[in-house]
Amino acid sequence: MNPLPAGRVKCAIVTGGASGIGRALARDLSARGVAVTIADLDEAAGKRVAAEFGLDFAPLDVTDAEAVAALFQRVRQARGRLDFVFNNAGIAIGGATEELSLAHWDKAVDVNLRGVVHGVHAAYPIMLEQGFGHLVNTASMAGLVPAPFMLPYTTTKHAVVGLSLALRAEAAARGVRVSVVCPGFTDTPLLDHANPGLPETEMGRQARSAAVRAQGRLYSVDALSRDILRGVARNQALIVAPASGRMAWRGARMFPAGAVRAAALAVRRLRVSPPDKTDI
Ligand SMILES: NC(=O)c1ccc[n+]([C@@H]2O[C@H](COP(=O)([O-])OP(=O)(O)OC[C@H]3O[C@@H](n4cnc5c(N)ncnc54)[C@H](O)[C@@H]3O)[C@@H](O)[C@H]2O)c1
């Protein structure tokens, strides 16, 4: 750990901090004077990011509940407090539902849902004891609107939204804050390695181009990090970005059946594969 005076400097843990959204959050929190520990499965990338921004790195697999609890206790002891936990680590699972094996479902649940549960289970008692702290769980727009061709992902992200909002209500009187982040498609390496360690699928291979076709333009990770930290500072329950995502979310709440029809139209468009380069 960097030698910072225990008890005074705010501190944060960012899971999945070695890449993409987590990396940007860790960088921007550190720039605001927060002592950040990034925790990630990818040790090489984690060490690189930690060295680049002067952060602490801890190797961590969020599917390992004991390891998550041990790390959070270690950070709390070293810093004397635990202000923010960003349960952000996640993986992309993509494919037509009939293509997906149970292994796709299991891995989505293990990383995207159990990973968040482990983070909450480890951090919440610490924050209750302190009487303060902010849990920030990363879900997705796929946790708010019907998102076909990524059913295991969509399922876990809806669960993270539900978990976070219910815990927010329960925790409010105890001084602990809970927010959930729902980004639209964002330009990170996630879109280039869908289905990690799992059988590949057609849609998984095309994740980046499908995301561009669905959203028009990918959101920038730097803009998203600013949105998230602004939402955290305002203690927003749901942090939804970009603006097009907020519109889609509003539409889905007002016209749920319309949102399903719009998703069905998108399915039809996505099923029409782009022309093969060898076509004449
Ligand atoms: N990029 C998008 O379009 C997008 C959109 C909505 C939500 N999200 C969510 O944002 C979060 C961050 O995604 P990203 O786009 O920055 O992806 P990313 O792939 O760039 O980064 C994810 C990080 O999580 C780490 N990770 C994966 N499994 C892990 C595990 N078991 N334990 C610990 N670390 C693990 C990876 O090593 C990686 O460093 C994820 O929860 C993702 O579902 C991303």
Q: How many CB atoms are closer than 10 A to CB 109? A: 18
Nearest to 88 by CA among 19, 151, 146, 154: 19
**Active-site hit among 72, 153, 219, 249:** 153
Residues 50, 57 contacting (CB under 8 angstroms): yes
pTM (two decimals): 0.94
Nearest-CA residue for atom 43 of ligand 1: 90
Q: Is 210 in the pocket of ligand 1 (CB under 6 A)?
A: no
Q: Is 189 in the pocket of ligand 1 (CB under 6 A)?
A: yes
For residue 217, name the pLDDT band (cuts at 50, 70, 90).
very high
Q: Is 110 in the pocket of ligand 1 (CB under 6 A)?
A: no
Cα–Cα distances in Å, from 225 out to 50, 132, 231, 232? 17, 23, 10, 10
Interatomic CA distance for residues 167 and 125, integer angstroms: 12
Q: Is 119 in the pocket of ligand 1 (CB under 6 A)?
A: no
pLDDT by residue (tens digit) across 226-252? 999 999 999 999 999 999 999 999 999
Farthest CA pair distance, the chain = 68
Interatomic CA distance for residues 95 and 193, integer angstroms: 13
What is the distance in A from the centroid of ligand 1 to the CA of 231? 19
Q: Is 124 a catalytic residue?
A: no
Please say if the pLDDT value at position 280 is more than 60. Answer: no
pLDDT by residue (tens digit) across 172-212? 999 999 999 999 999 999 999 999 999 999 989 999 999 99
Helix (H) or strand (E) holding 202: helix 202-205
Say if domain 11-271 classifies as CATH 3.40.50.720.
yes
What the block records as the tokens of 119 is 């983070």
pLDDT by residue (tens digit) across 259-276? 999 999 988 887 755 444
Per the prediction, the chain carries an average pLDDT of: 93
Nearest ligand 1 atom to alpha carbon 110: 31
Interatomic CA distance for residues 152 and 109, integer angstroms: 7
Q: Going by C-beta distance under 8 Å and a sequence separation of 6 or more, which residues neighbour residue 270?
A: 149, 203, 210, 213, 214
